[in-house]
Structure 1
């Protein structure tokens, strides 16, 4: 097998130590290995960087072990070409599992070009990704607090959630704070409703007639305080994310005109946009709002040159069918494991896109959901959404629904063909004859 990298290294990463194997070829073309162990403090990692530089190492492969690979990557990325490898993509021979053997195996695979690196975004995108993921975690935690608050209200015979759509809203919080303060009269509590909620006075009075004890008041107060704390934390995250998006600019050599400029005809159209320019393009897709566009930019960025095609991006995101065939038989086609943050937001966007009745995505969903079910149809819509995102960011053009004026007729024709085929599979033959329109009375 031909050697691709003559001087490379493999790193087995742990919490407190890293085991490094340097692999090089001598004058006779024979591999020479040297293995050392370093700590994970910044001083130890700088010593590791100096040793690799003195050994004239050009490429490094290391295992993506939890969060422990990140400190090592931070030190080495500026001096070497570092490849972070998924541990599921390489396997050692059974019975030979040691730290030194793992490092040697990684170095040997790298020397022959047999390792596939994970996608590591540039530093500005990593910062944006940290912020959006932390904000998503806070939003999910806020939803959990709302659920726990609802649990307490049910235990106190307060059916507030049966009347209001959001028990964390302004009117609900005013009612709950008065309840904690000791107000027990349902009519007095119902008077605290604001806006359109004031039209539901009778329902509120019936829902707020419960059996509230001091124990319930204490828990309600704790949950309200927790909600206010999370709301205060979310605001700086929103502001910081907006600031990063406004300040981001691609490198000087890849600057492109704004999105509203004329379509480009040369190869510069493949160059990445600034995030501020990409936001309105993503917002033009049905089902994608500004919040969703921020999450997309944090996970995949605006540079589509990293992915050779839209199919590669969908495979990386885990929204394409799996490929499992053996002996000419196709087995389970479940979607492969992938970026759970990206997959989650794609599914949310797909659920929003199918509610746009006049969009192509709604048509695809209705066609698939009837025979494949809701979940499979949503994943298929998420797949098409990501394909649209890829081409929009690559071509710098807003979304255009390719549905034509006769799309309704084509959809009806496809439905008739499907139903006719189903009847024929049951052993019957049917002939479709259009009904004549009734003549108006003379």
Structure 2
């Protein structure tokens, strides 16, 4: 017989309009989702001596209820909806909350990771910033389309039309300038040194009113999202300062940081802020990690990695661990349920490492790619990188990049050992 380990427990099924609460030996009670009703729900739980509550992570509906229950000193377990799947039979909200309560009372549910308030605030601003970056990229495409419809082939000549040179030319076009020579003179001197004739040829277009209007709209929208990104950067810097307030003094930028190629936040001494938050442990010693994706990981994971017992727990939570779904002699296909955002950050770093000619992880990834394809290689490199990240902050790993040649020497040594072992098994001698 299974033994109940949480006697004073409740289960809550969360919906957009109603919440259903189940307490053992009590009829299921429903509440509206307004703030007043949520406070009544907390009072109802306290009046029945409830110490712990389990509820599914349903969209963002759980956030306010979670905060209210935590403010009343109730132990709240936010659980993955996949772990509370209804048993076969008819499914209703009433049965769901009863099933959640029963599973929780027997200790069969696992808690979701919930970061502290400052990390959640940082995450909100960071995710908003990424949304604005995606939106601005859409309007860059609109600019390209409007230029092509006027046969202005600027994007075939310069690398980015939204760079400094491209934006200057586009704004001049919108202000009425049509001379290809004058427009070309707005380019950077490095472009004019090698591509001046090509730039002038690309700027001889067939202008029309509708395309110019579309171009102006796209530029205005692009400028709007750039301003929104700047506002997010201000908020991100404020939260970083809050996270290390009264700790180790003010940040000092004494060390050169890794360059950030794309979408660099406008935050003064971002690396120094992160160093203080992580108590002078620098994650950028790891390959593929810059101050920007380090801050992204802070927003998704937080600074305390001891919440994961081992690197295997950590990579499994990130969705980077190998999946197992075997039954008897059959190895069944397993479809992934998605990767958390933190896992995607490690994957983005792994993509760059695959093309590296000097880093050992790049050689490891190319070896996997030659056998199992690019997607498996990216995931494998991301998993290695995540393990190093966990060990750096939990075990105090001192990472040193030995380069690709050391990796190749180690692989050759492993092959030699394998050959010698096979020779011994076959009664042969390696000369």
**TM tier, smaller:** 0.7 to 0.9
Whether 2:203 is the aligned partner of 1:208: answer: yes
State the Cα distance separating 1:334 from its structure 2 match: 5.7
Residue 358 of structure 1 aligns with which residue? 358
SS at match of 1:218: helix
Whether 2:151 is the aligned partner of 1:150: answer: no
Residue 126 of structure 1 aligns with which residue? 120
Residue 304 of structure 1 aligns with which residue? 305
Structure 1 unmatched runs, 5+: 24-31, 259-272, 421-431, 434-442
SS at match of 1:21: strand
State the Cα distance separating 1:169 from its structure 2 match: 1.0
Measured at CA, do residues 398 and 234 of structure 1 come closer, stay the same or move farther in structure 2, by a change above 3 Å? farther
State the Cα distance separating 1:344 from its structure 2 match: 2.4
Residue 440 of structure 1 aligns with which residue? none
Mean alpha-carbon deviation: is it higher for 324-333 or for 292-301?
324-333
How does the TM-score come out when normalised to structure 2?
0.84
The 8 Å contact of residues 40 and 71 in structure 1, kept in 2 or not, is answered as: no
Mean alpha-carbon deviation: is it higher for 393-402 or for 219-228?
393-402
Mean alpha-carbon deviation: is it higher for 382-391 or for 147-156?
147-156
Superposed counterparts of 1:47-126, under 5 Å: 47-78=40-71, 79-126=73-120
Superposed counterparts of 1:111-260, under 5 Å: 111-199=105-193, 200-249=195-244
After superposition, what is the alpha-carbon deviation per residue over 1:31-84, rounded to whole angstroms, capped at 9, x for unaligned?
Answer: x12321111222111111111111110110112111111111110123211111
State the Cα distance separating 1:415 from its structure 2 match: 8.2
Residue 324 of structure 1 aligns with which residue? 325
Whether 2:294 is the aligned partner of 1:293: answer: yes
State the Cα distance separating 1:108 from its structure 2 match: 0.9
Measured at CA, do residues 275 and 338 of structure 1 come closer, stay the same or move farther in structure 2, by a change above 3 Å? farther
> How many angstroms apart in 1 are the aligned matches of 2:280 and 2:152?
43
Q: CA RMSD in A?
A: 2.7
The 8 Å contact of residues 281 and 397 in structure 1, kept in 2 or not, is answered as: no
Residue 424 of structure 2 aligns with which residue? none
Residue 439 of structure 1 aligns with which residue? none
The 8 Å contact of residues 13 and 65 in structure 1, kept in 2 or not, is answered as: yes
> How many angstroms apart in 2 are the aligned matches of 1:173 and 1:251?
43
Residue 377 of structure 2 aligns with which residue? 377
After superposition, what is the alpha-carbon deviation per residue over 1:321-360, rounded to whole angstroms, capped at 9, x for unaligned?
Answer: 2111112222336655231x22322121112233443222
SS at match of 1:34: coil
Measured at CA, do residues 158 and 274 of structure 1 come closer, stay the same or move farther in structure 2, by a change above 3 Å? closer
Residue 39 of structure 2 aligns with which residue? 46
The 8 Å contact of residues 282 and 398 in structure 1, kept in 2 or not, is answered as: no
Matched residue count: 394
> How many angstroms apart in 2 are the aligned matches of 1:357 and 1:333?
33
State the Cα distance separating 1:181 from its structure 2 match: 2.1
Mean alpha-carbon deviation: is it higher for 395-404 or for 72-81?
395-404
Structure 2 unmatched runs, 5+: 252-273, 420-429
After superposition, what is the alpha-carbon deviation per residue over 1:182-201, rounded to whole angstroms, capped at 9, x for unaligned?
Answer: 22222221111123122221
State the Cα distance separating 1:411 from its structure 2 match: 4.1
SS at match of 1:11: strand
SS at match of 2:206: coil
Measured at CA, do residues 350 and 58 of structure 1 come closer, stay the same or move farther in structure 2, by a change above 3 Å? same
Measured at CA, do residues 333 and 277 of structure 1 come closer, stay the same or move farther in structure 2, by a change above 3 Å? same
The 8 Å contact of residues 152 and 216 in structure 1, kept in 2 or not, is answered as: yes
Mean alpha-carbon deviation: is it higher for 326-335 or for 395-404?
395-404
State the Cα distance separating 1:383 from its structure 2 match: 0.7
SS at match of 2:76: strand
